Amino acid sequence: MAVITAVDTFDIRFPTSLSLDGSDAMNPDPDYSAAYVTITTDAGDGLTGHAFVFTIGRGNDVEVAAIRALRDHLEGADVDALLADMGRAARLLTHDSQLRWLGPEKGVMHMAIGAVLDALWDLRAKRAGEPLWLHLSRLSAEELVSVVDFRYLTDALTETEALEILRAAEPGRQERIRQLQAIGYPAYTTTPGWLGYSDDKLARLCREAVADGFPQIKLKVGADLDEDRRRLRIARENVPAGFPIAIDANQRWGVDEAIEWIRGVAEFDPAWVEEPTSPDDVLAHAAIARAVAPVRIATGEHVQNRIVFKQLLQAEGMAVMQIDATRVGGVNENIAHLLLAAKFGVPVCPHAGGVGLCEAVQHLAMFDFVAVSGSMDGRMIEFVDHLHEHFVTPVQVRRGRYLAPSSPGAGTEMLPASIAAHLWHEPVPATAEAPA
């Protein structure tokens, strides 16, 4: 029997706040960071599982502490048994009755569980010698359903319905795998649109995005309406007529403000309006979506779990689902999201950027194309050209498309030199004594 011999964690931070790359209305100065985990076994195959939670700086140490809190479930565990039943692996962590109190299934603890599960998926795909998207795309409908937790989902999606969705997509899997390997998957770029760029830089980056073959760009908005209208006008003047421009408010507004603001930019025909308000506010999303139709509302990068995604779909508050690779309970929960989106007929356009999110989430979108939705129509993965050089298998984006990864694993392994160079050290806090 092979067992897990070590679960190691690393607090990795990049000083991205020194430039204005990545700035938006709610996140003015992010330091892109990874609470990183490696899983080592005594299998003797030389393979390790790697994954991370993406954060934007302060608090990365808290996320590392949360991953460490899971080690007792893993170290010494039979790794073959864990990898063979990833549904059980997820329950082992998510259903820890004491840790559950810290969520349940949300925030720091849930993201930590996601990272550990993703490290297991990385290891499993490496063992199979397949990139994760292909590995998932070759699993049976029954195996895929077995990794999903249907608790709190069945009023919208039952196990039987999930099986039907997956079985309906079984014919053509091989053809779609070949298609992906031949032409890749559409990408859109947020590079032109960060707040804080000069007008000239905005105009130039818009033109470059079109020239580079991207089918859509996205601009950050929400700090000032007049300024947003001015920047949207510049963007429109620097792309072809009818070119899709999405906008992203990063949760800036309440309901009335969102409606007013979106109406104020509607003439620029936004491809979607992203995160108009709190990711927790299903009813607000629904109210905004009704008021601004046919403008489409997109959200998801901060949606905490499948239960909130389910409600956003039930309430028709979201027309584009933006899954995030490291916000939720790992690949397992993201498969639930893909199934929910397919059930409700909503396209999935993953959130990416940060550090490693592009590398991770492309596998989920490609798996969706092969085995769940079976479609690329209206679907694309966000792309930001940041920090890819730190990964063993960085994304390859050509002419506005992600090329299908061919290396084994989940894409989530960083280079040892990058880890070593960006390891963040803080003085160990002195243990406080009980007050006298």
Given a contact cutoff of 8 angstroms between Cβ atoms, the answer to whether 104 and 346 are in contact is: no
**Shortest spacing between CB 159 and a second copy, in angstroms:** 12
Binding footprint of a second copy, residue count (CB under 8 A): 76
Give the span between the Cα atoms of 162 and 230, in whole angstroms: 45
Binding mask 315-354 for a second copy (x = CB under 8 A): x---------------------------------------
**Shortest spacing between CB 370 and a second copy, in angstroms:** 30
**220 is an active site residue:** yes
Q: What are phi and psi of 382, to 5 degrees?
A: -60, 145
How is the chain split among helix, strand and coil, in percent rounded to 5? 45, 15, 40
**310 is an active site residue:** no
Q: If you search the block for the tokens 């409606």, which residue do you land on?
A: 259
Would you say 9 or 137 has its CB closer to a second copy?
A: 9
Burial label for 436, CB within 10 Å (0-12, 13-18, 19+), is exposed
Among 87, 104, 215, 244, binds a second copy (CB under 8 A): 104
Three-state SS for 9? strand
**DSSP 8-state symbol, 29:** S
**Shortest spacing between CB 165 and a second copy, in angstroms:** 19
State yes or no: residue 151 binds a second copy (CB under 8 A): yes
Would you say 66 or 83 has its CB closer to a second copy?
A: 66
**DSSP 8-state symbol, 433:** P
State yes or no: residue 177 binds a second copy (CB under 8 A): no
State yes or no: residue 19 binds a second copy (CB under 8 A): no
| Tokens found for residue 276 | 């108009």
**Shortest spacing between CB 79 and a second copy, in angstroms:** 17
Contacting range for a second copy; rule: CB under 8 A; set: 4-12, 113-121, 177-185, 213-221: 4-12
Query: Which one of 73, 106, 110, 351 is the catalytic residue?
Result: 351
Among 225, 291, 419, 424, binds a second copy (CB under 8 A): 419
Give the span between the Cα atoms of 127 and 80, in whole angstroms: 10
Would you say 350 or 374 has its CB closer to a second copy?
A: 350
Contacting range for a second copy; rule: CB under 8 A; set: 115-123, 303-311, 375-383, 396-404: 303-311
State yes or no: residue 106 binds a second copy (CB under 8 A): yes
**Shortest spacing between CB 334 and a second copy, in angstroms:** 17
**DSSP 8-state symbol, 78:** B
Would you say 8 or 164 has its CB closer to a second copy?
A: 8
Alpha helices in 69-103 (DSSP H): 71-74, 79-84, 86-94
Give the span between the Cα atoms of 125 and 410, in whole angstroms: 7
Give the span between the Cα atoms of 116 and 158, in whole angstroms: 26
Q: What are phi and psi of 270, to 5 degrees?
A: -65, 135
Alpha carbons within 13 angstroms on the beta-carbon side of residue 256 total 0
- E strands, 300-413, in order: 320-321, 381-383, 397-398, 401-402
Chain positions 236 to 295 lying near a second copy, rule: CB under 8 A, are 251, 254-256, 277-284, 287
State yes or no: residue 154 binds a second copy (CB under 8 A): yes
Would you say 238 or 311 has its CB closer to a second copy?
A: 311
**Shortest spacing between CB 239 and a second copy, in angstroms:** 30
Chain positions 179 to 218 lying near a second copy, rule: CB under 8 A, are none
- E strands, 92-230, in order: 185-193, 217-220
Among 1, 44, 101, 200, binds a second copy (CB under 8 A): 101
Give the span between the Cα atoms of 274 and 219, in whole angstroms: 10
Would you say 128 or 392 has its CB closer to a second copy?
A: 392
Would you say 69 or 339 has its CB closer to a second copy?
A: 69
Contacting range for a second copy; rule: CB under 8 A; set: 24-32, 74-82, 219-227, 240-248: 24-32
Q: If you search the block for the tokens 């806090």, which residue do you land on?
A: 429
Chain positions 25 to 64 lying near a second copy, rule: CB under 8 A, are 26-31, 38, 48, 55-59, 61-63
CA distances from 418 to 34, 195, 353, 367, 421 (A): 12, 28, 18, 28, 5
Give the span between the Cα atoms of 357 and 341, in whole angstroms: 20
**Shortest spacing between CB 266 and a second copy, in angstroms:** 20
Give the span between the Cα atoms of 234 and 245, in whole angstroms: 12
Would you say 324 or 368 has its CB closer to a second copy?
A: 324
State yes or no: residue 429 binds a second copy (CB under 8 A): yes
Three-state SS for 351? coil
Query: Which one of 50, 220, 285, 363 is the catalytic residue?
Result: 220
Residues carrying an active site annotation? 220, 351
